[in-house]
């Protein structure tokens, strides 16, 4: 391995508690474990990483975890010599001193702006585009995760699908519909709970702490567990990344939000409902439609109507109960489609490998 391809720095500012750092932590771990890279992960909020990786010490300036050097990114942090590859996650803006050190290096590093995941077609046209710095002798490349070979792919560890299948083979059948509920505070949680309470089958719903549990507590009162009609609503501890994957595999339906849990739900091959981050002027609904157009391709008319109906109801707060009934009625067909969808996505190069390949040609 050429030394110039070995050292990577990933910079992450935590914006939505878990999404940004979840993506960066998964990527850092995989680069170290599967590609032999020496990775420093710079994070401005270590407390948000700790639920995903309980071994983290939020007070430590630097620590080694899963083969990754995790550094607390503060205004006074000394970041030292720049790496050969620098990932600026989600346009977080590199420290000015570090940027100057990059410009002064004899061999300029490969500088990547890792963008948010979107299914919109314009992102494929912008993927891997170069952006020269206006004043420094540096070039930044835009790298877009995505759902086609024209994009940078999705995060997927090499053993993930095999581990999923082993887990699924070990599960026992159950009578209830098991659900995981991870959402923003704008989700129509009360309407969903009402729909679950009148389900034709018993329901077990796992609710993590934070915004999901706060929404349930506000609607049902108290601190749970709650037996609400046919539904048992059960608070659950926040799960580290790998445990969260296993929860997605065991559940019959997964409600997910943002980017990280959204991608992991797709690898789970189970029916899922995605709440996209709300934006002004309903711009998020354009992004949602772009995903649904890709995801629903090949579905029959009734199946597509059930999936689209539930996704739109969950993201707009309208007609949740009828949308849920149609969705759950088709859940076995949806599960079959999701399994094929995951296989289709897995045929493409995963995000970590795509980054390694791209940077090797640039450094």
Domain boundaries, the chain: 3-154+350-360, 160-346
90: left (phi over 0), alpha (psi -120 to 50) or beta: left
Q: Tokens 């109507």 belong to which residue?
A: 305
Cβ contact 85:109 at 8 Å: yes
Q: Provide CB contacts within 8 A for 162, sequence distance 6+.
A: none
Show the tokens assigned to 85: 């590859």
The verdict on whether 242 is a catalytic residue reads: no
Over residues 315-324, the pLDDT tens digits come to 999 999 999 9
- Residue 85 CA to chain centroid, in angstroms? 22
pTM of the model: 0.95
Show the tokens assigned to 232: 């048992």
Instruction: Confirm or reject CATH 3.40.50 for domain 3-154+350-360, answering yes or no.
Output: yes
74-77: Cβ within 8 A, 24+ apart: 74/44, 77/42
Count of beta carbons in the 10 Å neighbourhood of residue 186 = 14
Active-site residue identified among 115, 178, 259, 260:
259
Over residues 107-142, the pLDDT tens digits come to 999 999 999 999 999 999 999 999 999 999 999 999
Q: Tokens 């296989």 belong to which residue?
A: 343
H/E element, 161: helix 160-170
Over residues 168-218, the pLDDT tens digits come to 999 988 889 999 999 999 999 999 999 999 999 999 999 999 999 999 999
Q: Tokens 């490998």 belong to which residue?
A: 353
Question: What is the rounded distance in angstroms from the CA atom of residue 274 to the CA atom of residue 261?
Answer: 9
Question: What is the rounded distance in angstroms from the CA atom of residue 262 to the CA atom of residue 273?
Answer: 9
Count of beta carbons in the 10 Å neighbourhood of residue 347 = 8
User: Does residue 226 carry a pLDDT above 80?
Assistant: yes
User: Does residue 296 carry a pLDDT above 70?
Assistant: yes
User: Does residue 344 carry a pLDDT above 90?
Assistant: yes
Strands 226-228 and 231-235, how do they pair?
Answer: antiparallel
Say if residue 225 is preceded by a cis peptide, omega within 30 of 0: yes
pLDDT at 3: 46
Active-site residue identified among 9, 20, 115, 260:
20
Question: What is the rounded distance in angstroms from the CA atom of residue 19 to the CA atom of residue 76?
Answer: 25
**Architecture per CATH, 160-346:** 3-Layer(aba) Sandwich (3.40)
Q: Do 3-154+350-360 and 160-346 come out as alike in CATH topology?
A: yes
Question: What is the rounded distance in angstroms from the CA atom of residue 111 to the CA atom of residue 134?
Answer: 14
206 pairs with which residues across the strands? 180, 234
Q: Is 113 helix (H, G, I), strand (E, B) or coil?
A: strand
The verdict on whether 16 is a catalytic residue reads: no
User: Does residue 2 carry a pLDDT above 50?
Assistant: no
């Amino acid at each position: 391995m050429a030394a110039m391809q070995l050292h990577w720095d990933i910079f992450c500012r935590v914006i939505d508690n878990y999404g940004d750092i979840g993506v960066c932590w998964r990527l850092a771990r995989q680069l170290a474990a599967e590609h032999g890279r020496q990775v420093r992960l710079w994070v401005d909020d270590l407390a948000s990483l700790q639920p995903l990786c309980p071994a983290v010490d939020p007070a430590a300036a630097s620590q080694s975890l899963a083969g990754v050097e995790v550094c607390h990114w503060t205004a006074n942090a000394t970041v030292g010599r720049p790496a050969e590859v620098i990932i600026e996650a989600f346009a977080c803006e590199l420290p000015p001193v570090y940027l100057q050190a990059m410009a002064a290096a004899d061999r300029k590093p490969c500088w990547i702006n890792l963008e948010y995941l979107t299914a919109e077609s314009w992102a494929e046209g912008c993927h891997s585009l170069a952006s020269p710095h206006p004043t420094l002798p540096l070039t930044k490349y835009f790298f877009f995760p995505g759902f086609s070979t024209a994009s940078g792919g999705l995060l997927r560890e090499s053993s993930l699908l095999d581990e999923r299948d082993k887990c699924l083979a070990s599960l026992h059948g159950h009578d209830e519909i098991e659900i995981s509920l991870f959402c923003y505070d704008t989700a129509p949680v009360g309407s969903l709970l009402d729909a679950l309470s009148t389900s034709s089958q018993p329901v077990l719903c796992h609710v993590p702490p934070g915004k999901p549990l706060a929404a349930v507590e506000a609607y049902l009162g108290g601190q749970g567990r709650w037996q609400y009609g046919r539904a048992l609503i059960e608070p659950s501890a926040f799960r580290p990344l790998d445990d969260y994957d296993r929860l997605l595999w065991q559940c019959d339906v997964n409600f997910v939000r943002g980017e990280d849990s959204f991608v992991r739900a797709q690898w789970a091959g189970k029916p899922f409902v995605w709440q996209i981050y709300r934006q002004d002027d309903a711009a998020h609904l354009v992004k949602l439609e772009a995903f649904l157009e890709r995801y629903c391709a090949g579905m029959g008319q009734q199946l597509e109507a059930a999936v689209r109906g539930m996704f739109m109801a969950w993201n707009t707060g309208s007609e949740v109960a009828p949308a849920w009934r149609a969705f759950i009625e088709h859940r076995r067909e949806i599960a079959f489609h999701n399994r094929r969808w995951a296989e289709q996505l897995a045929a493409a190069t995963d995000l970590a490998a795509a980054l390694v390949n791209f940077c090797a040609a640039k450094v």
